[in-house]
């Protein structure tokens, strides 16, 4: 089947990014806002991002106008009835996602595909909560979606081969590289990346080095574009916390448990870039490391 009409549910950073990618690829796209506030806010955010592309001469004004013309915004689930593909990007909570899929299957046409952008939750657990498990798949985009090239495509044991092919074709159409992965918690990237960040947080907590030193060591010693603590701030410390818990629940490896420092930061609302504070203070330029969070180092 060909995917001609796409809905993205959730108008946060990931949701707007995926909607932008879809609309820019020539696909009619609906962005669904699930929280309070103006429905058109997501479209305005996308317009600003595209305008920056025009200014950098990576996009023409005509292409910008055409992209926005293919994008509509709503807060009504019933507007999704004729969508070929619905991608959810709501809170990383299994019960919330299950409830959403339950609402969708009463609205979206029988041939419609349900996809989750979850980073660690089981696609099977989501699929089996629906009446159409053969039409459920994982499509894990990475942040920021307009820039990052990878999509993890995650079928379950029951995903229809037609659905997998459609997901692979859609991924190629939006100019991403898709890798097909078995449905195990964390998939590939977060199965490897989350323990890395958790170990870095534990290393800082133990006072092995300062926050900036840990990040510089991995940037310069491993040629990473960003250190692990700055990366955790970028992703969101609450999301890292939930990913670590999800991995521990699946694999029961002690090293996957969130360190106390991570838990305290989340409880305090210090979630990284999106809250203005985390391992770094983003009220300064450049951001300043909050070294009082970690044990003293010589």
Burial of 250 (0-12, 13-18, 19+ CB in 10 A): middle
Marked catalytic residue, from 11, 190, 242, 246: 190
Marked catalytic residue, from 119, 122, 143, 246: 119
For residue 263, give the H/E element and its range: helix 260-267
Catalytic site includes residue 242: no
Marked catalytic residue, from 88, 92, 105, 152: 152
Residue 12, token pair as written in the block? 């946060």
The answer to whether the peptide bond before residue 7 is cis (omega within 30 degrees of 0) is no
Catalytic site includes residue 252: no
* Residue matched to tokens 């491993």: 222
The answer to whether the peptide bond before residue 144 is cis (omega within 30 degrees of 0) is yes
Instruction: With both helix axes pointing from N to C terminus, report the angle between 211-222 and 228-235 in degrees, rounded to the nearest 10.
Output: 110
Using the 8-state DSSP alphabet, how is residue 277 labeled?
A: B
Residue 169, token pair as written in the block? 């074709």
Residue 294, token pair as written in the block? 């970690």
Catalytic site includes residue 63: no
Burial of 37 (0-12, 13-18, 19+ CB in 10 A): exposed
Catalytic site includes residue 117: no
Residues classed as catalytic: 119, 140, 152, 190
């Amino acid at each position: 089947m060909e995917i001609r009409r796409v809905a993205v549910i959730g108008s946060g950073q990931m949701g707007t990014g995926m909607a932008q990618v879809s609309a820019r690829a020539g696909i009619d796209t609906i962005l669904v806002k699930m929280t309070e506030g103006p429905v058109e806010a997501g479209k305005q955010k996308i317009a600003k991002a595209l305008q920056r592309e025009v200014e950098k001469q990576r996009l023409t004004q005509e292409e910008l106008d055409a992209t926005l013309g293919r994008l509509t915004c709503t807060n009504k689930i019933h507007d999704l009835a004729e969508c070929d593909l619905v991608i959810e990007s709501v809170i990383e909570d299994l019960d919330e996602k299950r409830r959403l899929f339950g609402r969708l299957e009463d609205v979206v046409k029988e041939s419609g595909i349900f996809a989750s952008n979850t980073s660690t939750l089981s696609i099977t657990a989501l699929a089996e909560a629906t009446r159409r498990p053969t039409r459920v798949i994982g499509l894990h985009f990475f942040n920021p979606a307009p820039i990052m090239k990878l999509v993890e495509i995650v079928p379950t044991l029951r995903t229809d081969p037609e659905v997998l092919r459609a997901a692979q074709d859609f991924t190629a159409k939006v100019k991403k590289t898709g890798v097909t992965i078995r449905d195990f918690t964390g998939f590939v990237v977060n199965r490897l990346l989350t323990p890395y960040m958790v170990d870095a947080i534990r290393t800082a907590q133990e006072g092995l080095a300062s926050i900036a030193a840990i990040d510089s060591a991995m940037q310069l010693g491993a040629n990473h574009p960003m250190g692990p603590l700055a990366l955790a701030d970028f992703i969101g410390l609450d999301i890292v916390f939930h990913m670590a818990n999800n991995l521990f629940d699946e694999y029961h490896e002690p090293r996957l448990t969130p360190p106390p420092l991570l838990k305290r930061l989340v409880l305090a609302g210090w979630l990284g870039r999106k809250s203005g504070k985390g391992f770094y203070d983003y009220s300064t330029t450049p951001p300043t490391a909050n070294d009082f969070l970690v044990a003293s180092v010589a």
